[in-house]
Amino acid sequence: MFKKAFPWSRRSPEEESECDGVLISGPRIVLREKKIEDVKDDYAWRTDPELAELDATRPLNMAYEDFARYSKEELSLPGIRSKRLAVDTVEGRHIGNCMFYDIDLRSGEAELGIMIGDKAYWSQGYGTETVGLLLDHMFTTYAFKRVYLHTLTWNKRAQNSFRKSGFQDVREVRRSGLDFLNMEVWRHEWEAMRNASADEDQTSNDISSSENSNSPS
C-alpha cells in the first residue's frame, strides 16, 4: 500500500506486510495503524471542547452513528496525501492519534499533527515521545526532507514539546482569524541531533563502565 501511495518509500512490499498494525515502538508507546475499534475514543475526543480549542477547531457536531460510518469508510480508503496513526501505550491503551498530511512528493515535505486525547496522559512526556517516534518513522522509513507544523501561538506547552524533538520556530502566521506559530525540522538537523544524543549515551555508558571496573571488590 505504501509503495503505491509513496513511491519514494525506502521499504519493500515484504517489509510493509510485516509491519501491519504496529509500525514503531518506543519505551512507553507504540504507533499503529488505525482500526474501527478506535471510533469510540475518537468520537469522545473530537466532541471535547477543550481538545477542539487546542486543535483550533470546533467540537464535532455529528451523531455517533454517522461518525462511525464515516470512520469506517475512511479506513477503507488509504490516503495518498495523508497518513493517520493511533498512539497506544505499550500496555495497549489508546491515548491519542498522530498523522502526517499535505504530503508533497516533489519536495519531500509533509505537515505533522498530534493529539493526546486521554487527559490522564497529559504533561508526562507522552506527546514528546510520540513526536519523536513519528519523526523517526517519517525520516527513516520515507525520504522526507522536511517536516513542519502549525501550533497556536499561545500553546507554549506544545511548542516546548516540539522543540525537544528538534523543531525550530520559523514565523507566525494568521489563519481564519487565529495566530499560529509555524515550526519545522529538516532531516539533516534531526539526524545530527539523534547522533549527538547517541554519542552522549555512549559516553555516559563508558564512564559508568569505567567507574564500575575501578571500584574495589
pLDDT by residue for the chain (217 residues), tens only, comes to 233 333 333 334 344 334 448 889 999 999 999 999 999 999 999 999 999 999 999 999 999 999 999 999 999 887 788 999 999 999 999 999 999 999 998 999 999 999 999 999 999 999 999 999 999 999 998 889 999 999 999 999 999 999 999 999 999 999 999 999 999 999 999 999 989 877 665 555 555 555 555 555 5
Superfamily designation of domain 2-145:
Gcn5-related N-acetyltransferase (GNAT) (3.40.630.30)
Contact 7/105 with Cβ under 8 angstroms? yes
Q: What is the DSSP string of 23-69?
A: EEE-SSEEEEE--GGGHHHHHHHHT-HHHHHHTTS----S-HHHHHH
Per-domain residue ranges of the chain:
2-145
- Whose cell is 508526562? That residue is 124
pTM reported for the whole predicted model: 0.81
Alpha-carbon span 89 to 95, nearest angstrom: 7
Alpha-carbon span 199 to 95, nearest angstrom: 32
pLDDT at position 168: 97
